[in-house]
Copies of this chain bind each other. A is one copy, B any other.
């Protein structure tokens, strides 16, 4: 099981530029509604700021038009190609999802399906354009399923070429059978989750900085 640990500081690698951070939030709610998943992702972002200059964007997938399909562009108003561009530019990508019956949301799953077309579009790159990027995962749910959800994402991410630093994930899940109305309140009181977010932020930034100066360069 996850053992809570106090947060510990560390020296950062030398890189002093700005890191690009992209959050893909698979919440089923639109931007106008508050999202537990987004709030936890924001906490990670906040903690990153103490380690580096960052330039970040949070995309609420529920507000985007991302049709099902196998192509790089599925329709005239398909917003996936723009998101794909942003993934390509980011140094750190956070995959943030609520849990629905033991798995990621349909919106997060859609993104994963569409990422399969990376290879087709970028003939001179494909998934290799994702090499030297760092991935992090944020999961929230009323109860159960966080580790199943994040572990399945991890296996996809490693084969997509992302680097996964130690403690690359933060999650909150409550006790089974509680009233979901209090989820937010219980999450905010949870000290272990706060420390997970801090350590995760530290390690994501550490690895992103390190890989800026020491990337894997294929030839």
Interface residues of A (CB under 8 A from B): 1-5, 8-11, 13, 28, 62, 68-70, 99-107, 109-110, 112-113, 116, 119, 126-127, 130-131, 141-148, 150-152, 154-156, 158-169, 171-178, 180, 186, 190-193, 203, 206-207, 210, 214, 216-219
Contact = CB atoms under 8 A, between A and B. Distances in A.
B1 A142 contact: yes
A69 B158 contact: no
A164 B164 contact: yes
A114 to B, nearest CB: 9
A168 B158 contact: yes
A57 to B, nearest CB: 21
Given A1-B100, A101-B147, A110-B106, A192 B166 contact: no
A163 B166 contact: yes
A203 to B, nearest CB: 7
Given A28-B69, A210-B214, A177 B155 contact: no
Contact of A151 (B62, B102, B214, B219): B102
A102 B152 contact: yes
B163 A164 contact: yes
The 8 closest A-B pairs by CB, nearest first: A177-B192, A151-B155, A148-B148, A164-B164, A106-B109, A8-B218, A106-B110, A151-B151
A1 B143 contact: yes
A132 B116 CA distance: 31
A176 B159 CA distance: 13
Given A1-B142, A144-B145, A163-B164, A104 B107 contact: no
A127 B3 contact: yes
22 contacts: A1-B99, A1-B142, A3-B119, A5-B127, A28-B70, A68-B105, A100-B116, A101-B155, A103-B104, A106-B106, A106-B109, A147-B148, A148-B152, A150-B155, A151-B152, A151-B155, A158-B169, A159-B167, A163-B163, A163-B166, A163-B207, A203-B216
